[in-house]
Structure 1
Amino acid sequence: MKIKAILAAGALAMAGQAAADDHAPRALTAHEQRVYDIYRDIIAFRTAAGHGQMDDMVAYLTGRLAAAGFAEEDLLVTDFDSDGDPTQGLVVRYRGDGSAGAKPIVMLAHMDVVDALPEDWERDPFTLVEDEGYFFGRGTQDNKYGVANLTGTFIRLKEEGWLPNRDLYLVFSGDEETGMVSTRAQARWVADNVDPAYVLNSDAGGIGLADDFAPLAQQVQLAEKTYVTFDVTATNPGGHSSRPRSDNAIYDLAGALTRIEQLRFPVRESELTRSYFGALGQSIPGELGAAMRTFAANPADDEAIALISANPGYVGTLRTTCVATMLDAGHAENALPQSASAAVNCRVFPGEGVETVKAALETAVDNEAITVTQREEATESPMSAFPDEVRAALAKSLATRFGEAIPMIPTMSSGGTDGMHYRALGYDTVAIGAGASRPQDIYAHGLNERMRVEAFYAGLDHWNIVLKELAGG
């Protein structure tokens, strides 16, 4: 990994980046205005793979941090080639005085996004728009809120003259949504050069809200499923389309995908998932909440499993899942296909094993002419501990925000984050994102991604409180 220090004092040029601001007037504190401005500006960078705007966003962020007083040697830009697509990462050091005699703390976020096609959205995905009580735009949830909130908090603390009693680091990756080349390399660099006490992740966790927006619980991600993609490929000699054959690569692939659609992996449970459903079931009303409580007491209850499985938000906590996500087939409209391939993305329950999942796909396909090939090496990671001092700091942030304590529920994420690579290196990695949303408002990776305006501003003291509790108030 190539590391270079960069001082982008003049990189605050925002020409073309200031998005249209149609949010209703409200009195903002200096910190709220700063984070809003950062959020608006970084949403405007199309930091999806292939668009070449990551370096612009990194220059923008380093410029803001440099202007706030962070020294050149404490702004490290990391250069990578992520599957043929150049990208960058950013590491920011907030120097402490060392008086705590404690190891540093690392905070994670990712700067890249899943691409969004403007013609498919109701609003331009790369212009932050406030409408109907929400901020709309690609990355509003995943994960530019984390980037803006952490960056704004570091600037706020620096301007206050705050001196932590241990070093703090921001580590922003540039390809979490694709090859995770920068993530793996940054994790190794952190292990070799920082060796933190633990890692805090802004890209998971977060506060679950009820239908009326009342807070239910803070989810604390301590584990995540293994992310792996397989290419399921059918091949054929092909031929002229006027002479159809009984075997056809597209039809063969379609049959294989239908069998994969019907594949159900066995239900898995752990102490973490049982405690998660037991706690969450106390606040979820109706049949779903009752099913969660039943599962926590008896993970073999078929009726509870069926009710939970019917909800896309929770089925991933029960079992390994595999789903087709991309197709590539044929080479000409007047020719029989010589190949047809589908990407099948799997989220593997810890302990199941990637090889076991591959074998299950091959068994389901049941066609020797179709190959199942793993794309990239998968990172299988263990469960993390929840350090007592992090638990106490998070509790204070939540009590300050809501005026009372709310439950903190350890969870396992179905999606993958940067955190897996730090766990794999032996570091407890705890995701305590500041976002808050109802299940029906989660549009990450989808059309019209959004964040509730009230939740955006309510979470802006989160990291300030947590860091002062952990590194000296």
Structure 2
Amino acid sequence: MPLPKPLIALGLIAGMATAQTLYADATIRSEHAQKTLEIYRTIVEVDTSKRMGNTPRVANYLAGELLAAGFPAEDVEVPMTGEFASLIVRYRGDGSTDAKPILFLGHMDVVEALAKDWERPPFELTRDEVNFYARGTIDNKFGVSQLTSTFIRLKKEGFVPNRDLYLVFSGDEESGMTTTRMLAYERPDLAEAEYALNSDAGGGVLDTNGNPIAYRIQAAEKTYATWEITVRNSGGHSSRPREDNAIYDLADALKAIQAYRFPVQWSEMTLEYFQHTGEQLGGELGDAMITFAYDPGDKAAAARLAKEPSYIGTTRTTCVVTMLQAGHAENALPQSATATVNCRIFPGVGVAEVEETLRTVVGNDAVEFEMLADPTESPISELRSDVVAAVGKAVHSRYPDVKLIAYMESGGTDGMHFRNAGIPTWAVSGVFMNPDEMFAHGLNERVPIKAFYDGLDHWSVIIRELAGKQ
């Protein structure tokens, strides 16, 4: 007897739901998925922040997994730079072309996380119905685990590239970048690369409803520079307050920096980025993006974008106070007070110019400025069609209609040094998520579980397109 149409419809819906569930279950249970999750969990649960000395532990673990997958010992290396480890793995090509190697970048270290401040243990991979949680889940152990498991998968499948491929994982990207500098400037084998693809930035942008807005290819990044600013004083007994107080004077300087806005700046790349993102995003914020794209001198649009942590860095240089140290005893007037001010400088603006601006804004010659480390300014890597096509194939397998757009990273990555070494570098993470839900470097860092599993094929598609038999 024929079923009534409503029941047929319900049956079809139920069948579709069952098929989707089976597909999802099959994806999660695949050997590649299980290995990726195993690697992800293992490395996330090792605290690799700079003071822990644990990057050798992670590097040697990953090296062991790659050796077990069939990579020869002479092609797996764990070099040390001081107390930090790097990982270099060569995937030998068959020599069928004269194409130069491709580097695949990531970093094994993380920013510190104070367990007492987190809702969940920062160095234990936990989950709810939506997200994985832990320090490093997105920055950058997501990329490290996905790249490592992809190399393992391809090796086990018998894939032989037509050129050499290298995994290149640094150990202190979040602090001194000593390992990054070594890898970029001191390794002749890596210097031969045609270009590098970085797992530490880029990726897909979702709106609050989970709809794709764009896929971003990071082609440039801002200069990273940090100053310590200090006020000194002869101090004294706390029972005899004086008008000049190192902490108060420093506080005045910091409030002046907080209130200052660097001038709005733009490039053709950032304007195109805002135009497309605004068209897809819609609403008040989307309208502000479109207005800015057509008229970056529009003060109202620039002010609206400045309210958004995810987008303010694309419109100007930013400086923010990140650390404080002051005083020496509870019953003594402070003899010194120091703050760390971290700046992300728009390409084309000199570091000395930013320091001079900060000195002018503070307006107190007694405030000392000391630059920490040497800032690195890096060029833009112009997009190339074969890389965009390969990334597009991976992206469009998930979101067929999403547009790929180049953008400038507000933060800093290992890519800055490889670009300076003459190696064009693009960041093309496999993640799709809402940037406001990322919390990299912050509390309760997370990655959508769906994004984790949906990205499993991302790197294998790209590698097969760029280094497979034609």
Q: TM-score w.r.t. structure 1 length?
A: 0.92
The residue that corresponds to 1:117 in the other structure is 114
The residue that corresponds to 2:30 in the other structure is 29
Give the superposition deviation at 1:278. Answer: 1.2
Residue in structure 2 matching 1:215, options 212, 216, 219: 212
Query: Which letter maps to 2:362?
Result: V
Q: In the TM superposition, what whole-angstrom CA distance separates every residue of 1:133-177 from its partner, at most 9, and x where no partner exists?
A: 110111000000000000000000000111000000010000000
Task: Confirm or deny that 1:352 pairs with 2:349.
Answer: yes
Structure 2 counterparts to residues 429-468 of structure 1, below 5 A: 429-468=425-464
The residue that corresponds to 1:134 in the other structure is 131
The residue that corresponds to 2:302 in the other structure is 305
Query: Which letter maps to 1:62?
Result: A
Query: Which letter maps to 1:56?
Result: R
Query: Which letter maps to 2:450?
Result: E
Check the 8 A contact 1:361/1:372 in 2, yes or no. Answer: no
Check the 8 A contact 1:191/1:425 in 2, yes or no. Answer: no
CA distance in 2, matches of 1:115, 1:311: 24
Structure 2 counterparts to residues 323-362 of structure 1, below 5 A: 323-362=320-359
Give the superposition deviation at 1:194. Answer: 4.1
The residue that corresponds to 2:54 in the other structure is 53
CA distance in 2, matches of 1:187, 1:36: 29
CA distance in 2, matches of 1:35, 1:66: 16
Q: In the TM superposition, what whole-angstrom CA distance separates every residue of 1:3-26 from its partner, at most 9, and x where no partner exists?
A: xxxxxxxxxxxxxxxxxxxxx987
The residue that corresponds to 2:66 in the other structure is 65
The residue that corresponds to 2:9 in the other structure is none
The residue that corresponds to 2:39 in the other structure is 38
Secondary structure at the counterpart of residue 175 of structure 2: coil
Give the superposition deviation at 1:191. Answer: 5.1
Structure 2 counterparts to residues 249-398 of structure 1, below 5 A: 249-398=246-395
Q: In the TM superposition, what whole-angstrom CA distance separates every residue of 1:309-329 from its partner, at most 9, and x where no partner exists?
A: 111110100000000000010
The residue that corresponds to 1:143 in the other structure is 140
Check the 8 A contact 1:124/1:137 in 2, yes or no. Answer: yes
Give the superposition deviation at 1:391. Answer: 0.6
Structure 2 counterparts to residues 156-305 of structure 1, below 5 A: 156-190=153-187, 193-305=190-302
Q: In the TM superposition, what whole-angstrom CA distance separates every residue of 1:391-422 from its partner, at most 9, and x where no partner exists?
A: 110111112123x1310010001000000001
Task: Confirm or deny that 1:74 pairs with 2:78.
Answer: no
What are the ranges of 5 or more consecutive residues in structure 2 without an aligned counterpart? 1-23
The residue that corresponds to 1:104 in the other structure is 101
Query: Which letter maps to 2:357?
Result: A
Secondary structure at the counterpart of residue 401 of structure 1: coil
CA distance in 1, matches of 2:246, 2:192: 51
- Stretch deviating more after TM superposition (29-38 or 368-377): 368-377
Check the 8 A contact 1:395/1:405 in 2, yes or no. Answer: no
CA distance in 2, matches of 1:60, 1:354: 39
The residue that corresponds to 2:17 in the other structure is none
The residue that corresponds to 2:402 in the other structure is 406
The residue that corresponds to 1:7 in the other structure is none
Compare the two structures and name the one with the higher helix fraction.
2
1:110/1:308 CA distance change after superposition, 3 Å = same
Check the 8 A contact 2:191/2:423 in 1, yes or no. Answer: no
What are the ranges of 5 or more consecutive residues in structure 1 without an aligned counterpart? 1-23
Q: In the TM superposition, what whole-angstrom CA distance separates every residue of 1:399-446 from its partner, at most 9, and x where no partner exists?
A: 2123x1310010001000000001112221101000111123111011
The residue that corresponds to 2:90 in the other structure is 93
CA distance in 2, matches of 1:159, 1:193: 24
CA distance in 1, matches of 2:186, 2:391: 27
Query: Which letter maps to 1:405?
Result: D
1:259/1:194 CA distance change after superposition, 3 Å = closer
Aligned length, in residue pairs: 445
TM superposition outliers: structure 1 runs of 4+ over 2 Å:
24-27, 189-194
1:56/1:133 CA distance change after superposition, 3 Å = same
Q: In the TM superposition, what whole-angstrom CA distance separates every residue of 1:242-273 from its partner, at most 9, and x where no partner exists?
A: 11111111111000001111111111111111
Q: Percent of aligned positions with the same letter in both sequences?
A: 53
Secondary structure at the counterpart of residue 214 of structure 2: strand
Give the superposition deviation at 1:362. Answer: 0.4
Query: Which letter maps to 1:90?
Result: L
1:45/1:290 CA distance change after superposition, 3 Å = same
Give the superposition deviation at 1:192. Answer: 5.6
Query: Which letter maps to 1:34?
Result: K
